[in-house]
């Protein structure tokens, strides 16, 4: 019986070589096939000898058939980028062409499963709807929240994921783990707290680069879409300043990230409003308690917080440095819904969560569902130690059950095999439903 395809939807160039290596381990029952319209990704896939769609004939395909049904409102609820949302609302030729190419690809391949990284990109969100209409298994992947882990879930990632959805916290508290498993995770978390990088093996054949022409084409596309540059965050030092004796830590997130645009019902990506509310809450709780605000490294050149520095100069603004130093010293961590919420648990710190995520559950963190709740929830977090008897088994549940012990920068046999095996198991389970 020929190997059934698993279709990888529009992976970025950083992921391509790793996913191609994972694809080799899907044999003999499955094979990796890629749909990509990205210049660098297509160049890499050709160099790696991978099957790529759409081909030249398909890329000249006409608009999708009238029988194709795309729910624009459901699509908008999945999309992160404003440009993708605009294309969806306009339903113009570029949007219709992408829908037609994806639909033709699914018809032609009839894949055993459809793999989407994150799921908030336009191609992935369209592919999700087309795959669900066909009853095809979906595999959503994203970085994990523990060292050298990935998320892989049939429903989505982060707040969309099914992690622990049908498992209550008492059941997680009672889940058995061997002494060897406990030692393994304890060692990994000890390394993280000590600032050690997890071991990651490079590709056996070396790093493959896109062809030079792909870089030129991508540079041209980036130049056409660039926004005017301007100096940002000049009032925020890049070197970590001296930390106060007592402070609450608020790590900022990328304002265009799906975590804020999709999973932040109270504040959206208006982090300035969250900072203003936190300032008011801290003044009500303890005027001597400082707020340490750290910029996200991926947002340094995109969002200007200098006006907020002028408005709140009494707080500590941090442009760089290791987040672990802040986690170790903070009395409490406030986050919308970022990975730092889990990292704070690793350091035994109470967490106040202002948005949605799989870990935002009473008992693990202090969820804030209404802005009026912020002050009492923050006061509670500052006065109660976290429940170590629940946090520790929850972290073990994430590491050994919910996440995959793999990473796209780790080409070790264990990393590649763990992801391939979890993918095949999920496809088989979903296909049997």
233-394: CATH topology is Rossmann fold (3.40.50)
> Quick one: DSSP state of residue 165?
T
What confidence score (pLDDT) does residue 218 get? 83
| Domain residue limits, the chain | 4-167+408-432, 233-394
Q: What is the pLDDT of residues 144-178, one digit of tens each?
A: 999 999 999 999 999 999 998 888 999 999 999 99
Q: Evaluate if residue 68 carries a pLDDT over 90.
A: no
Q: What is the pLDDT of residues 230-247, one digit of tens each?
A: 789 999 998 888 999 999
Helix (H, G, I), strand (E, B) or coil at 253: coil
If pLDDT is split at 50, 70 and 90, which confidence band does 66 have?
A: low
Q: Evaluate if residue 227 carries a pLDDT over 80.
A: no
348: left (phi over 0), alpha (psi -120 to 50) or beta: left
Q: How many CB atoms lie within 10 A of CB 414?
A: 12
> 262: which residues sit within 8 A by CB, 6+ positions away?
77, 78, 80, 120, 159, 160
φ, ψ of residue 294 to 5 degrees: the values are -110, 130
Q: What is the rounded CA–CA span in Å between residue 71 and residue 76?
A: 9
Instruction: Report which of 56, 43, 30, 203 is spatially closest to residue 115, judged by C-alpha positions.
Output: 30
Burial of 118 (0-12, 13-18, 19+ CB in 10 A): buried
Angle at 54 between CA 49 and CA 97, to 5 degrees: 160
Q: What is the rounded CA–CA span in Å between residue 157 and residue 146?
A: 14
Q: Evaluate if residue 360 carries a pLDDT over 70.
A: yes
Mean pLDDT value across residues 393-403 = 97
What confidence score (pLDDT) does residue 59 get? 52
Q: Which helix (H) or strand (E) holds 367?
A: strand 366-367
Architecture of the structural domain at 4-167+408-432: 3-Layer(aba) Sandwich (3.40)
CB-based contact 109:7 (threshold 8 Å): yes
Q: What is the pLDDT of residues 256-289, one digit of tens each?
A: 899 999 999 999 999 999 999 999 999 999 999 9
What confidence score (pLDDT) does residue 62 get? 52
4-167+408-432 and 233-394 have identical folds: yes
What confidence score (pLDDT) does residue 114 get? 98
What the block records as the tokens of 81 is 């980028």
What the block records as the tokens of 251 is 């790590």
What confidence score (pLDDT) does residue 64 get? 62
Greatest extent of the chain over all pairs of C-alpha atoms, in Å? 70
Q: Evaluate if residue 224 carries a pLDDT over 80.
A: no
Instruction: Report which of 195, 164, 226 is spatially closest to residue 322, judged by C-alpha positions.
Output: 195
What confidence score (pLDDT) does residue 402 get? 96
CB-based contact 399:8 (threshold 8 Å): no
> In terms of C-beta distances under 8 Å and separation of at least 24 residues, what long-range contacts does 167-174 make, across chains too?
167/397, 169/361, 169/363, 169/364, 169/390, 169/394, 172/390, 172/393, 172/394, 172/397, 173/389, 173/390, 173/393, 174/393
332-335 β-sheet, strand order: 316-318, 290-294, 247-251, 332-335, 351-353, 366-367
Pick from 45-59, 334-348, 399-413: least confident: 45-59
If pLDDT is split at 50, 70 and 90, which confidence band does 81 have?
A: confident
% of the chain residues with pLDDT over 70 = 95
The structure's pTM equals 0.93
For the stretch 64-99, what's the b/e string if a residue is b when 16 or more beta carbons lie within 10 angstroms of its beta carbon?
beeebebeeeebeebbbeeebbebbeeeeeebbbbb
Pick from 69-73, 125-129, 406-410, 424-428: least confident: 69-73
Instruction: Write down the mean pLDDT value for the chain.
Output: 93
Mean pLDDT value across residues 249-257 = 95
If pLDDT is split at 50, 70 and 90, which confidence band does 222 have?
A: confident
* Tokens 């003999």 sit on residue: 28
Instruction: Report which of 363, 373, 360, 371 is spatially closest to residue 163, judged by C-alpha positions.
Output: 360
Q: What is the rounded CA–CA span in Å between residue 35 and residue 304?
A: 36
Q: What is the pLDDT of residues 337-352, one digit of tens each?
A: 999 999 999 999 999 9
Bridging pattern class, strands 247-251 and 113-117: unpaired
Q: What is the pLDDT of residues 289-331, one digit of tens each?
A: 999 999 999 888 889 999 999 999 999 999 999 999 999 999 9
Mean pLDDT value across residues 401-426 = 98
Q: What is the rounded CA–CA span in Å between residue 124 and residue 223?
A: 25
């Amino acid at each position: 019986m020929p190997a059934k395809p698993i279709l990888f939807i529009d992976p970025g160039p950083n992921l391509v070589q790793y996913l191609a290596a994972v694809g080799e381990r899907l044999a003999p029952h499955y094979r990796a096939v890629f749909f990509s319209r990205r210049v660098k990704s297509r160049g890499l896939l050709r160099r790696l000898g991978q099957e790529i769609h759409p081909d030249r004939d398909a890329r000249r395909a006409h608009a999708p058939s009238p029988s194709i049904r795309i729910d624009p409102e459901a699509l908008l609820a999945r999309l992160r980028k404003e440009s993708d949302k605009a294309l969806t609302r306009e339903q113009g030729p570029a949007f219709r062409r992408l829908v037609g190419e994806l639909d033709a690809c699914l018809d032609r391949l009839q894949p055993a499963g459809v793999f989407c990284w994150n799921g908030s990109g336009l191609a992935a969100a369209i592919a999700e709807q087309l795959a669900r209409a066909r009853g095809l298994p979906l595999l959503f992947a994203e970085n994990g929240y523990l060292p050298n882990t990935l998320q892989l879930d049939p429903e989505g990632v982060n707040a969309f994921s099914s992690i622990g959805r049908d498992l209550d916290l008492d059941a997680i508290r009672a889940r058995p783990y061997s002494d060897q498993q406990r030692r393994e995770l304890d060692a990994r978390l000890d390394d993280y707290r000590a600032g050690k990088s997890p071991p990651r093996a490079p590709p056996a054949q070396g790093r493959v680069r896109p062809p030079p022409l792909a870089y030129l084409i991508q540079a041209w596309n980036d130049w056409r879409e660039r926004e005017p540059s301007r100096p940002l965050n000049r009032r925020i030092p890049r070197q970590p300043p001296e930390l106060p004796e007592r402070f609450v830590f608020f790590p900022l997130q990328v304002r265009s990230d799906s975590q804020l645009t999709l999973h932040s019902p109270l504040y959206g990506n208006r982090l300035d409003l969250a900072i203003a509310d936190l300032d008011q809450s801290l003044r009500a709780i303890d005027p001597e308690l400082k707020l340490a605000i750290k910029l996200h490294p991926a947002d340094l050149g995109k969002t200007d917080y200098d006006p907020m520095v002028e408005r709140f100069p009494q707080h500590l603004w941090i442009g760089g440095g290791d987040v672990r130093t802040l986690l170790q010293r903070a009395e409490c961590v406030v986050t919308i819904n970022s990975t730092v919420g889990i990292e704070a648990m690793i350091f035994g710190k109470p967490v106040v969560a202002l948005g949605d995520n799989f870990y935002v559950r009473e008992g693990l963190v202090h969820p804030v569902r209404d802005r009026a709740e912020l002050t009492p929830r923050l006061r509670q977090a500052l006065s109660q130690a976290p429940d170590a008897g629940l946090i520790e088994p929850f972290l073990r549940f994430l590491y050994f059950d919910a996440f995959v012990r793999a990473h796209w920068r780790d080409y070790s046999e264990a990393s590649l095999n763990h992801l391939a095996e979890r993918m095949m198991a999920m496809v088989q389970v979903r296909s049997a439903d």
